[in-house]
Structure 1
Amino acid sequence: MRTHHPQADIASVERAYEEAARWHEGETRRSGDPYITHCLAVAAIVADIGMPPAVVCAALLHDIEDAPCPPDRIAERFGKDVAQLISAVRRSELRAVPPGDVTLETATPTLDQAVLAIRLADRLHNMRTIAFLAPATQRRKASETLEVLVPLARTTGLPGMSSELRALSAAVLQPASSAFAVTTRILALLSLMLPAKQRTRWRQEWHAELAALPTRQTRARFTFRVLLGAPALSLALRRPAGREHPWRA
């Protein structure tokens, strides 16, 4: 966020994280991870797109209506615009948005643009973690993603997201080759080198990147790079809090 909006006051984002963590405390995803990890991932994707603080706040809080949060609390603490955006995200129907009708303006996005950014980010992270859903649900979500969200992301001006959504969907709908299965197992084993709290996150990210690679050779090279870098990553993740993290540079 500081890269895209260096002058913005991001204190509201910190408060939104604290609010989301409070109301989602004790909730877990199907992976077993705390639910707040999903909120953070969606917010990170939205921030990477370049959306301003108010939209990142809404991304952190996009599932707050499923928690026992008083209805007026978000508007009181974060303003009516953030509360309205969260409600609009919940009500939105992406099938009703013709591809090409909405493009993203990240400096001062409209309500529709902000809704689309959060919905695309939400689906991207859900597709990255789709392995924890039932097979029938995986196929349904993947088909919908290919049909609706891939073209939306492309025509909205997010070709990288569109490509990743397509690759993740194809990995679900097309049986994986034996070589792909082997590299996936290798990455799962490498994740055991990492601190327990970090394993799921990195395993998900590695698998998502692996699924986006088109050939056996590129997947093998990626797995080899992870193999070489895993020991250093493990040491960095185990450093005491407060030290600079080189992988974030």
Structure 2
Amino acid sequence: MTAQDLFVPRQTNTALYIQLHDAGHPVEDILRVQRAYGVACAMFNGRYRKTGRPFICHAVGAASSVAHFDKDLDLVVAAMFHAAYDSAQYPDGKSSRRSETHRKWLEQKLGPRVEGLVARVGAMKFDTGDPERLAAQGVPAGDEDILFLVLAHDIDDMADGGLAFAPKYGRSIESRVAACAILARRIGRESLAATIEAYGSRYAALGWAAALEDSRLEGFRIAPNVRNYLKLRRDKLRGARVEVL
């Protein structure tokens, strides 16, 4: 796969709409994604990734990656909300865990199938060493759709060099890339596997990015209101690696 052929995830809502239109989605589909994007903006307001990239760009990028490899709109929307039960802000101002209140609220906004996909994505372990473990042990039957979502999500993490500037999976991602490509092929996603390998091959040249890493942060947020600001301050005092600006 050449650099010219390599898929680059979109980072803005309007670019995602154009991508969906060019892929043949009707306007009704795009309107649905537009409504979902409005919900995502509120939920991830003020959130940044460790690299400094606004979280909403990553949410769009994950959705764009899924849309590139699959036309199922529920999967696209679920990818946008993959962190809804991990890093989002709900109207009640409480933690983003999957409480019954949060489940009902998200289901009302996105639909029951999407909410279920989001919950299952949050439950699948895919951190350091997990792809290698799954490649060795096998993926539980029935989780192929969730595996596809987390693999496509990694494309957005890899495409902007984020795993070099903020190496959350360690300095070398060679074993992770190899395992992810194996997993993609096991679920019949050859194009996804090839894209993972193509992006993985670029990381050898990004060793210089380590000098730009800020080791203090797992992520940081500009708190949208006083209540959340105080919560983040409390978390920092308790030892959480979060920067409160």
- TM-score, scaled to structure 1: 0.57
Say if 1:39 and 1:60, in contact at 8 Å, map to a contact too.
yes
Q: Does 1:89 align with 2:121?
A: yes
* Counterpart in the other structure of 1:120: 151
Gaps of 5+ in 1: 103-109, 185-249
Closer, same or farther: CA 135–56 of 1 in aligned 2, 3 Å: closer
Residue 44 (structure 1) aligned to one of 53, 64, 77: 64
Closer, same or farther: CA 135–28 of 1 in aligned 2, 3 Å: closer
Separation in structure 2 between the aligned mates of residue 181 and residue 79 of structure 1, nearest angstrom? 43
Q: Does 1:144 align with 2:165?
A: no
Q: Report 1 or 2 for greater relative contact order, CA contacts < 8 Å, sequence distance ≥ 6.
A: 2
Say if 1:8 and 1:53, in contact at 8 Å, map to a contact too.
no
Separation in structure 2 between the aligned mates of residue 135 and residue 67 of structure 1, nearest angstrom? 20
Separation in structure 2 between the aligned mates of residue 144 and residue 120 of structure 1, nearest angstrom? 11
Separation in structure 2 between the aligned mates of residue 99 and residue 154 of structure 1, nearest angstrom? 15
Deviation at 1:62, TM superposition (A): 0.8
Give 3-state SS (helix, strand or coil) of 1:28's partner: strand
Separation in structure 1 between the aligned mates of residue 199 and residue 69 of structure 2, nearest angstrom? 19
Closer, same or farther: CA 29–116 of 1 in aligned 2, 3 Å: same
Q: Over the residues paired in the alignment, what is the CA RMSD in angstroms?
A: 3.3
- Deviation string for 1:165-203 (max 9, x for gaps)? 22433444x5x4xxx999x9xxxxxxxxxxxxxxxxxxx
Deviation at 1:6, TM superposition (A): 3.9
Closer, same or farther: CA 89–181 of 1 in aligned 2, 3 Å: closer
Deviation at 1:96, TM superposition (A): 3.9
* Counterpart in the other structure of 2:107: 75
Q: Does 1:160 align with 2:180?
A: no
Closer, same or farther: CA 152–134 of 1 in aligned 2, 3 Å: closer
Gaps of 5+ in 2: 1-19, 93-101, 126-130, 210-245
- TM-score, scaled to structure 2: 0.58
Q: Which amino acid counterpart does residue 123 of structure 2 have in structure 1?
A: R
* Counterpart in the other structure of 2:166: 133
Deviation at 1:145, TM superposition (A): 2.8
Q: How many residues align structurally?
A: 169
Pairs within 5 Å for 1:92-241: 92-93=124-125, 95-96=133-134, 112-128=143-159, 129-134=162-167, 137-139=170-172, 141-146=173-178, 148-172=179-203, 174=204, 176=205
Closer, same or farther: CA 161–34 of 1 in aligned 2, 3 Å: same
- Deviation string for 1:132-188 (max 9, x for gaps)? 11487232x442232x2111112333323322322433444x5x4xxx999x9xxxx
Q: Which amino acid counterpart does residue 133 of structure 1 have in structure 2?
A: A
Closer, same or farther: CA 181–13 of 1 in aligned 2, 3 Å: same
Query: Higher helix fraction: Structure 1 or Structure 2?
Result: 1
Q: Which amino acid counterpart does residue 121 of structure 2 have in structure 1?
A: V
- Deviation string for 1:35-70 (max 9, x for gaps)? 111111110011111232211111111111121226
Structure of higher CA gyration radius:
1
* Counterpart in the other structure of 1:15: 35
Separation in structure 1 between the aligned mates of residue 191 and residue 169 of structure 2, nearest angstrom? 27
Separation in structure 2 between the aligned mates of residue 136 and residue 32 of structure 1, nearest angstrom? 17
Say if 1:42 and 1:125, in contact at 8 Å, map to a contact too.
yes
